[in-house]
Amino acid sequence: MDLSEFSDTFFEEADELLVEIESHLLDIDPDDPDPEQLNAIFRAAHSIKGGAGTFGFTVLQETTHVLENLLDDARKGNLSLNSRIVDQFLEAKDMLKDQLDAYRNGTAPDQEAFEALCQALQRIAEENRAGADAAPAPAAAEPPAQESAAGAGFELFDGASADADDGTPRLQVRLREVGEADRTLIIEELGNLGEILDSGGDEACFDIQLATEESPDNLEAVLCFVIDAEQLEITPLGGGEDEATAAQEASAPAEPEPEPEPEPAPAEPEAAAEVAGSESSEPAGEAGESPAESAAPEQPAAQDTPVAEEPKPAAPPQAAAPKEAAKAPAKPAAAPKAGKAGAPETSSIRVAVDKVDQVINLVGELIITQSMLNETVNGLEGVVNSDLLNGINLLQRNARDLQDAVMSIRMLPMDYVFSRFPRLVRDLAGKLGKEINLVTEGESTELDKGLTERIIDPLTHLVRNSLDHGLESPEARARAGKPREGKLVLSAQHQGGNILIEVRDDGAGLNREKILEKARANGIPMSDNPSDDEVWQLIFAPGFSTAEQVSDLSGRGVGMDVVKRNIQSMGGHVEIMSKQGQGTTTRIVLPLTLAILDGMLIKVAGEIYILPVSSIIESLQLRSEHLSSLPGNVQMLKVRGEYYPVISVYDAMGLRGLASETDEGGRGTAVMVQAGNIKYVMLVDELLGQQQVVVKNLEANYRRIPGVSAATILGDGNVALILDMPDLYRLGQEARVRRGGPSDAARAPSASTEEAEQA
Amino acid sequence: MNTAAVLQDEFSGIPGENGQYLTFILADEEYGIEILRVQEIRGWSRVTPLPNSPTYLKGVINLRGTIVPILDLRERFAMESLEYSSTTVVIVVRVEHEDEQRVMGLVVDGVSEVYTLGKDQCQDPPEFGGSLDQRFVKSLASVDEKMIIVLDVDAFLTAELQRSLD
């Protein structure tokens, strides 16, 4: 079988698991770790290890193995965590990611880094072991069940150390009711995994002594291909050998308790199913063996209760004797969680984004066809065609629902973005010597996948800036009478058709004077008494950032122009609010999706254009007496006591010849729109109504047109242009400057509608 | 050139070698474009004008869900423009720019013939000046004493993309 086609799936899953590991590691309290979380981390590492083994990614497998062992110790309370160990785990996670990427790109992972990390992890293990040997304190952390079997516990513990000392732990593999042919196969298999020291017995009970580095779990996983899990029993042969086993069997927690509990090992569900099946078939075939089997002295429990669950190997495996014993109490926690972890996988499927986009495009076409039908049907006599009309109405509703449903496929919760920040903040805060409390809000807010991915970089930039330059050191904060711990909030929320993403800190805030000073030094023109807003916008000026670093302001502008450009290319904009001494809020406003837009259809010069509804504040009836002129062809409209600049679409788009806008009585229609930070009034001929439109790129076959962001296809099959509000404002201003000049008439371009309509 | 080579060239459709060309009429002159670039030929239909664009760019149409720009070749070549009639034809061509394929429509007076032109029938255009931009002309071919101006359709797109935004 060619595994390579599955490896992509493995990479994706492993990526997700690594993210999960990281989030748990960041969340965990080293002094009082939540066993649930440790289990979750362990399981994730274990899954990666399993996958890596399957695909032959040896280095990855070994790294996870080392990590897994430590995690196993930790979750059983044999390893007391501290922040240094957690750091080490995080580093290990980073390296796993590197290795994963290396395998994904078909290159060899960094061997040196691997060895270094393994040593570091090994050190932790050794230190811990040394500590544990010196004072069996960990026992206190272990569950009481373990202590009831204190004698066995210590014995086992010693055994574990002994194993570790002589290098290769020895295991006893006991096979029950295994036929000759299978036995040979198994012995051969085991021979590959380790050194067979001794073997013997009969079909009912066959013992193999094996010196191997493999864990019993691994052996079990291998052998399960040949025989059922319940036919197999693996016992570590440590220092105490039989005594250990016996002691263990005597001890309550090791044997009977694990019995009814589901095993968290991944192979388990199949095993359980297999067992259930074999339960009915095997005894029939090998009924004669049953008495012999029940005579087997070491396995009374398994015999007594033929439950569908596989009995845990009677004695704990390898260098993990005490861990195994502790597994009993750990299991109940693990079992339900395992069920939960499994659930999302079965209830979701992986689909290539291309396919989803294809569906979205098709739905877009469907919506267009549907509105085309709608328009045709509108002219029909209602009574005669009531069935048809009802059908069309139903179709319209269904198409809308379908569209919503399809769009939601592409939506990802913001958690996808936010989840990478705890790590970044933790690392940076440590590096900068700052105390920072990161709070995320609105993680479940959904955003189009395409946008989610593109928002990460700008957001990272803003968070870095806040940490680096916004939030002060604990000392400075104390001096300023603020709590030592700085607060950084990442939040997301929906507002209309937009999503607002904020990076909020309670740091020093922007320094107005310094920014102005710097702007002057850079020769950026500005008015004599700029508003705060205007000043904050200065940090987005390109080049503002590249200037040499200036104390507490420095870097605030580093790459801010890039941030702004990125956001604008996504159809959004950035706002900054800042109060000196109190903090800074950077707000990113983005449309929820780029594929479909709520549009207001307007008519200008006989053509239909579309305004994004999200940018419309209100529509107004224009009266010429409310218009006042400023020098330089600037017109202002007074709306409820405030003046707003007026832009004519005719001027901005260079449309001529059919100018109506205002009738003889000086009346007309105007729309007040918001373009970034600017509000202005746009003069149009007519408002036609609202409609959802599918955004079509003009650049696909042509190029960008000034004042136009994209195009769409209307119900009648004609193309309509979607206006770009900020660009229109710019064009309007330019047109004002040109107006009255002789070049004006010559410039008026193609919008000769008469010509176009001669069809 | 032996027959086999001719056949091979014909099938491979290598531009400049033997290839089939669709010709169309523009102000009584015959122009040719590679037939493999032609996607379809359709009648003139209403376009949506693009503001802030040159006059020869008539606008955009909806071609089965994609938005396609329409260029008037008469106006592009600074010839006298003609009123569109029922015989006015739009040739939809596939054009390339930096390995990206796009589609655009060319308004012409009418389509004429399909010719197979051998390399020996074509010559590189001399410097000719005049209103026709040299960039757009790939070669001049002669068929039965007639001159056919073979156009480079990619050049139209390149020229559009290079036109600076104002």
DSSP per-residue codes, A247-284: HHHHSTTTTTTTTTSPP-STTHHHHHHHHHHHHHHHHH
Better-scored residue on pLDDT, B8 or A441: A441
Residue A220 has pLDDT above 80, yes or no: no
Does residue B10 belong to any structural domain of this protein?
no
pLDDT computed for residue A269 by the predictor: 41
pLDDT computed for residue B108 by the predictor: 92
Interface test with B, best of A702, A713, A727, A753 (most B CBs within 10 A): A702
CA distances, A357 to each of A360, A403, A408, A561, A594 (Å) = 5, 12, 12, 31, 12
Alpha-carbon gap: B70 to the closest alpha carbon of chain A (Å): 10
Cα A561 versus chain centre, distance: 26
Better-scored residue on pLDDT, A470 or A525: A470
pLDDT computed for residue A529 by the predictor: 77
Of chain B, the end-to-end C-alpha distance in Å amounts to 51
Question: What would the 3-class secondary structure string for B15-27 be?
Answer: CCCCEEEEEEEEC
Find all residues with CB under 8 Å of A601, minimum gap 6, and list them. A608, A609, A610, A687, A688, A689, A690, A691, A714, A720
Q: Lowest-pLDDT range, A27-36, A653-662, A713-722?
A: A653-662
Asked if the Cβ–Cβ distance from A701 to B69 is below 8 Å, we say: yes
Strand order in the sheet with B100-108: B38-43, B89-97, B100-108, B66-72, B57-63
CA distances, A643 to each of A16, A230, A315, A636, A639 (Å) = 53, 84, 84, 6, 6
Identify the band that residue A561 occupies on the pLDDT scale cut at 50, 70 and 90.
confident
Asked if the Cβ–Cβ distance from A708 to B50 is below 8 Å, we say: yes
Mean pLDDT of A161-185: 65
B69 contacts on A by Cβ (under 8 Å) = 701-702
Helix axes A35-55, A83-104, angle to 10 degrees: 30
Cα A398 versus chain centre, distance: 31
Binding-face residues of A in 317-376 toward B, CB within 8 A: 365, 368
Binding-face residues of B in 64-123 toward A, CB within 8 A: 65-69, 83-84, 102-104
Q: Which CATH class is domain A413-591?
A: alpha beta
Given a contact cutoff of 8 angstroms between Cβ atoms, the answer to whether A713 and B65 are in contact is: yes
CA–CA distance, A571 with A326 (Å, rounded to integer): 56
pLDDT computed for residue A661 by the predictor: 57
Q: Where are the beta strands (DSSP E) in A163-269?
A: 170-176, 194-201, 205-212, 232-237
Alpha-carbon gap: B83 to the closest alpha carbon of chain A (Å): 8
**Token pair of A98 as six digits:** 């590197």
Report for A139-143, A487-491, A731-735: range of highest mean pLDDT: A487-491
Mean pLDDT of A740-749: 40
> Which element (helix H / strand E) includes A618?
strand A616-623
CATH architecture for segment(s) A165-326: 2-Layer Sandwich (3.30)
User: Length of chain A in residues, anyone?
Assistant: 759
Given a contact cutoff of 8 angstroms between Cβ atoms, the answer to whether A582 and A490 are in contact is: no
pLDDT computed for residue A664 by the predictor: 55
pLDDT computed for residue A706 by the predictor: 84
The 3-state DSSP class for residue A376 equals helix
CB contact, 8 Å: A647 with chain B?
no
Q: What would you report as the CA-atom Rg of chain B, rounded to the nearest whole angstrom? A: 16
The 3-state DSSP class for residue A635 equals strand
pLDDT computed for residue B24 by the predictor: 93
Given a contact cutoff of 8 angstroms between Cβ atoms, the answer to whether A65 and A49 are in contact is: yes
CB burial readout A187-202, b (16+ within 10 A) else e:
beebeebbebeebeee
Alpha-carbon gap: B137 to the closest alpha carbon of chain A (Å): 21
Phi and psi of A237, rounded to 5°?
-100, 85
Domain boundaries, position B135: 16-162
| CATH numeric code, A597-756 | 2.40.50.180
Asked if the Cβ–Cβ distance from A756 to B47 is below 8 Å, we say: yes
The 3-state DSSP class for residue B159 equals helix
Given a contact cutoff of 8 angstroms between Cβ atoms, the answer to whether B104 and B156 are in contact is: yes
Residues A1-141: name the CATH superfamily.
Answer: HPT domain (1.20.120.160)
CA dihedral A599, A601, A602, A604 (to 10 degrees): 110
Residue B36 DSSP symbol: G
| Burial degree of A115 (CB within 10 A; 0-12, 13-18, 19+) | exposed
Report for A30-34, A549-553, A607-611: range of highest mean pLDDT: A607-611
Does residue B9 belong to any structural domain of this protein?
no
CB contact, 8 Å: A743 with chain B?
no
For B52, the closest of A654, A698, A756 (CB atoms) is A654
Q: What amino acid occupies position A717?
A: G
Phi and psi of A411, rounded to 5°?
-80, 135
Q: Is the dihedral of CA A317, A323, A329, A332 positive or negative?
A: negative
Write down the number of H helices and E strands in chain A: 28, 22
Better-scored residue on pLDDT, A152 or A726: A726
- Interface pTM, i.e. ipTM: 0.82
Asked if the Cβ–Cβ distance from B48 to A607 is below 8 Å, we say: yes
CA–CA distance, A178 with A232 (Å, rounded to integer): 9
Cα A436 versus chain centre, distance: 22
pLDDT computed for residue A224 by the predictor: 62
Residue B81 DSSP symbol: P
Phi and psi of A125, rounded to 5°?
-60, -45
Domain count, chain B: 1
B24 strand-pairing partners: B31, B111
CA–CA distance, A345 with B101 (Å, rounded to integer): 40
Nearest C-alpha neighbor of A631 from the set A743, A742, A745, A740: A740
pLDDT computed for residue B100 by the predictor: 80
Max intra-chain CA distance, chain B: 54
CA–CA distance, A487 with A439 (Å, rounded to integer): 7
Average confidence (pLDDT) per 10 residues, chain B, 166 residues: 44 56 90 92 90 88 87 88 84 88 91 87 80 83 88 87 64
Phi and psi of A99, rounded to 5°?
-60, -40
Q: How high does pLDDT run on average in chain A?
A: 71
Given a contact cutoff of 8 angstroms between Cβ atoms, the answer to whether A753 and A605 are in contact is: yes
| Burial degree of A326 (CB within 10 A; 0-12, 13-18, 19+) | buried
Strand order in the sheet with A686-694: A686-694, A596-604, A607-612, A719-723, A708-713
Of chain A, the end-to-end C-alpha distance in Å amounts to 62
Binding-face residues of A in 367-396 toward B, CB within 8 A: 368
Does residue B1 belong to any structural domain of this protein?
no
pLDDT computed for residue A581 by the predictor: 83
Question: At which residue do the structure tokens 């079509």 appear?
Answer: A696
pLDDT computed for residue A241 by the predictor: 43
Mean pLDDT of A292-314: 42
Q: Lowest-pLDDT range, A216-220, A361-365, A603-607, A722-726?
A: A216-220
| Nearest residue in A to B166, CA atom | A706
Domain range annotation of chain A: 1-141, 165-326, 353-410, 413-591, 597-756
**Token pair of A663 as six digits:** 């009738």
A731 contacts on B by Cβ (under 8 Å) = 52
Does residue B7 belong to any structural domain of this protein?
no
Q: Lowest-pLDDT range, A91-105, A253-267, A435-449, B130-144?
A: A253-267
Better-scored residue on pLDDT, B49 or A530: B49
Nearest C-alpha neighbor of A43 from the set A335, A472, A421, A273: A335
Residue A662 DSSP symbol: B
Q: What angle do CA A13, A17, A19 make, to 5 degrees?
A: 120
pLDDT computed for residue B93 by the predictor: 94
pLDDT computed for residue A238 by the predictor: 57
Task: Report pLDDT digits (tens) over A60-112.
Answer: 888 888 888 888 887 777 777 777 788 888 888 888 888 888 888 877 777 78
